Amino acid sequence: MDTEKFYSKLGAGYQPGVLTTVVLAAEELKRQGKKIIGLTGGMYDEESFPWREVKEIFAEATEADWRVMLQYGGTRGYQPLREELSKWMKGHGINVDPYKELMVTTGSQEALDLMARIFLDPGDVIIVGSPTYLSALTAFQTSDPDIREAKLDKDGMIPEELEKVVKQVVSEGKMVKFVYIIPSFQNPMSSMMTMERRKKIIELANKYDFLILEDNPYGYISFEGPMPTPLKGLDTEGRVCLLYTSPSPRDLSTSRMPSSA
Ligand SMILES: Cc1ncc(COP(=O)(O)O)c(C=O)c1O
């Protein structure tokens, strides 16, 4: 049966993302028995999975725990987990109220999708780094925004370039809804935003009145030195929405304090 005629405009517009296409192609090659090292999707080395720890945690769960785990939960996520996450974030210089300001999602990708739905109407202006994470664009594009770009170099998004783009938007009588930034180990450039730029970008957000969507999937797995303070840790006006990806128990147990530099 042809179900496509029943699609909404939004549904009809959904196409497999670029990443889905390349990951599927890599899986197909594996199925054919070809030995490949896939560098397209951010796949983990299976050897690094903390499966023993996860097994132990499950073995420790009591009947009372299972009754909670298998039941429906609140849409913001399991409250004791939110409380633990807020303590963990404190170690990164970030104070959030676990009851009002923290939500557990299925990875950062779900949060990107939610941000687009909550903040964007068609034609709204957002600014992203050039280049940026492809699947963030896929999430934003479902809301049909006007996407502008600000250049990056090895030290992250260039504040002067960002300001130029913001001024241009303002001169058109429009507002910038949010700027999407990956400050630490940016995807795809791997750039690390300097502390000076982090401060400058917060100043620009306050001056020109825009929100920042900070994506930080990799900052806390820094191999050399501590994670630099996320933009959220410098935010005095509540303008930054910070996304983390799911840390493994190992990341949590070894998470390091942010640098104060
Ligand atoms: C910059 C960036 N944000 C978000 C994601 C998605 O994260 P998650 O697996 O938590 O959905 C990725 C994954 O590659 C990423 O590189």
> 188: Cβ below 6 Å to ligand 1?
no
Tokens of 58: 């499950």
Tokens of 215: 């994506």
pLDDT of residue 257: 39
pLDDT of residue 247: 58
The three-point CA angle 68-74-77 to 5° equals 85
List the chain residues with pLDDT less than 50.
Answer: 249-250, 253-261
What is the maximum alpha-carbon separation in the chain? 61
CA atoms within 13 A on the CB side of 8: 3
DSSP 170-194: HHTT--EEEEEE--SS-TTT-----
> 220: Cβ below 6 Å to ligand 1?
no
Tokens of 137: 């664009």
pLDDT of residue 37: 75
Atom number of ligand 1 nearest to Cα 41: 14
Tokens of 8: 């909404």
pLDDT of residue 226: 80
pLDDT of residue 206: 98
Contacts of residue 183, defined as CB under 8 A and 6 or more positions apart, other chains included, come to 156, 157, 192, 193, 198, 214, 216, 219, 228, 230, 231
pLDDT of residue 255: 45
Tokens of 198: 């982090």
pLDDT of residue 162: 98
pLDDT of residue 10: 79
Atom number of ligand 1 nearest to Cα 110: 11
pLDDT of residue 261: 31
Please give the domain boundaries of the chain with CATH numbers for all domains. Answer: 1-43 (no CATH), 105-254 (3.40.640.10)
> 180: Cβ below 6 Å to ligand 1?
no
Q: Measure the CA–CA gap between 147 and 140, rounded to whole angstroms.
A: 9
Whole-model pTM: value is 0.86
